[in-house]
Amino acid sequence: MKYGDKVGLYNDASQCIAEDVPIEALSPFYNPYMKDVLDLFKRTAFVNLSKLQSCLKEGKAGWETVIGQDECKMPWYGRDLPIVEHAEEIADRIRDKIGKFGDGEDSVVVMADTIIVKIPREVMGIFASRDPVYTWTMVALCQAIAEIFKIDPNTDLDGCNMLKAVVFGRYPQSITFSPGAPVSGFLKPSNVVDGLGAEYSGITVNHIVAMVNKRTMDGLALASILEEAAQWEMGNAVGWYERYNLLGYAYEGFNANNLVLDLVKENRAGMIMDVVHSTVRRAIEDKVIKVKKKFASGYKMYATDNYPLWNAYELAGTTAAVIVNCGAMRAGQAAPSVLAYINDGFTIETGGLPDPDGGRMEGVGIGFAFYTHSIYGGAGPGAYTFDHVILRGSGFIQPPIVAGMCLDSGTQLFSPEMTSSAFFKLRDMFPLLQNPLEKVAEAAEQIKGEIKKG
């Protein structure tokens, strides 16, 4: 155990589910549940056979709009094929082409009208990127359909071209695949991720909200698993910054010492600055900060010799403020504004202590509030990914934004139901995604004795 910090982890009913957990047990390098989640996200593709069948029948391909998806229609090239009826046969042929490179794990599973493909670990270990999730799945799918339905370039060249267009969209004419295409994955293709190491940040907020079925504390946990992994991949948690990140996500995402829910309950009838006052008071009681100077007016300046822990308290307070504010208005719209303006509250209340994430959260929050219709319209908070140029400046903003959207009651044009309907089903498809907060804590409890000092 490199650091001396230990925390208790609490569920959404404020019940302690793991005690005296070293913060290292909440690292993706140690926590087995976190490893399993990241492995699932990295290796899994989905084939929507109903979408594929309807697109082929209508001759619809290469669209680049999220809504509508109908600007490119070529019905004269359409092919009316009973693809859904042949789901098992298609899956078997994909398995023959991909599964033989694996370790015996069943790499292809049919669930209703969806084929789930997990690229073997050995394949992912050999290649430089994680793009086989798309490239191998797409090529194997096209070959399987061509074999079953006798689509041969010598006898049906137009059919081959149509199949390729439906599966690949305009690629490589366009570097992106069509939104809502028949083949998808948890993560974006690497060529469209904005920034080195930002793969796990590139997941749409509403997708995460849907995968946890709008459960707020589970949303915080899943978002923290993904964003913490992204920070490690970017290099932002290496060396000097390891403890800073481990503490931050422990308190913000995994409800360490029940701080988030304590602050929510205490301020359930309050406002953002009430949460700030409560957070500062709790930090004083826990000896995280102390009075450095008191002025004649009574105003106090505080100091800390444990900035990473003070930052973690601020992050918990910020998360609680988002929950209080968005919960009161039953809308996620306010989440970016809380991130933008709570920071000054912490600085003023403490007489100049650094605000959350050393000012990065405020900078990102202001830009995010601007682009989510507070001033300028881009899209609602739920439609963004955190590799976006506006958002990638702070690694701690994803969990509270997810929490805000979990509390939205349908006010958003870009709602989880509209942008991410398929992801609600994934929670049933993958039991691994159910109750992530509980499972992170259980895994941490199991391994805490194995984490040695030094």
8 Å CB contact between 200 and 223: no
Which pTM value belongs to this model? 0.94
The answer to whether residues 339 and 203 belong to one domain is yes
What is the per-residue pLDDT across 421-442, written as a single tens digit (0 to 9) for each?
A: 889 988 888 999 999 999 999 9
User: Is 315's pLDDT higher than 60?
Assistant: yes
Task: Tell me how far apart the alpha carbons of residues 335 and 372 are, in angstroms, rounded to a whole number.
Answer: 10
Boundary (domain end) residue, out of 192, 215, 231 = 192
Task: Please indicate, yes or no, if residue 353 is contained in any of the structural domains.
Answer: yes
Residue 302 annotated in active site: no
Q: Which domain holds residue 128?
A: 44-192
The answer to whether residues 223 and 109 belong to one domain is no
- Percent of the chain clearing pLDDT 90 (strictly above): 79
> What pLDDT sits at residue 69?
79
The answer to whether residues 296 and 363 belong to one domain is yes
Of the listed ranges 155-159, 390-394, 403-407, the least confidently predicted one is 390-394
Cβ atoms within 10 Å of 410's Cβ, excluding its own? 10
Q: Mean per-residue pLDDT for 339-354?
A: 95
The answer to whether residues 101 and 207 belong to one domain is no
Of the listed ranges 173-177, 300-304, 338-342, the least confidently predicted one is 173-177
| N-term to C-term CA, the chain | 5
User: Is 285's pLDDT higher than 90?
Assistant: yes
CATH of the domain at 166: 3.30.70.470
Task: Please indicate, yes or no, if residue 219 is contained in any of the structural domains.
Answer: yes
The answer to whether residues 48 and 34 belong to one domain is no
> What pLDDT sits at residue 382?
93
The answer to whether residues 136 and 203 belong to one domain is no
The answer to whether residues 140 and 211 belong to one domain is no
Catalytic residue among 3, 371, 376, 384: 376
> What pLDDT sits at residue 396?
96
The answer to whether residues 135 and 212 belong to one domain is no
Task: Please indicate, yes or no, if residue 1 is contained in any of the structural domains.
Answer: no
The values of phi and psi at residue 47, to 5°, are -115, 115
The answer to whether residues 244 and 209 belong to one domain is yes
The answer to whether residues 273 and 376 belong to one domain is yes
CATH of the domain at 424: 1.20.840.10
> What pLDDT sits at residue 389?
86
What is the per-residue pLDDT across 99-121, written as a single tens digit (0 to 9) for each?
A: 888 777 778 999 889 999 999 99
Boundary (domain end) residue, out of 192, 223, 247 = 192
What is the per-residue pLDDT across 259-276, written as a single tens digit (0 to 9) for each?
A: 999 999 999 999 999 999
> Number of structural domains, the chain?
2
Task: Please indicate, yes or no, if residue 152 is contained in any of the structural domains.
Answer: yes
Task: Tell me how far apart the alpha carbons of residues 379 and 373 are, in angstroms, rounded to a whole number.
Answer: 7
The answer to whether residues 10 and 61 belong to one domain is no
Boundary (domain end) residue, out of 192, 211, 232 = 192
The answer to whether residues 188 and 291 belong to one domain is no
Of the listed ranges 17-21, 216-220, 410-414, the least confidently predicted one is 410-414
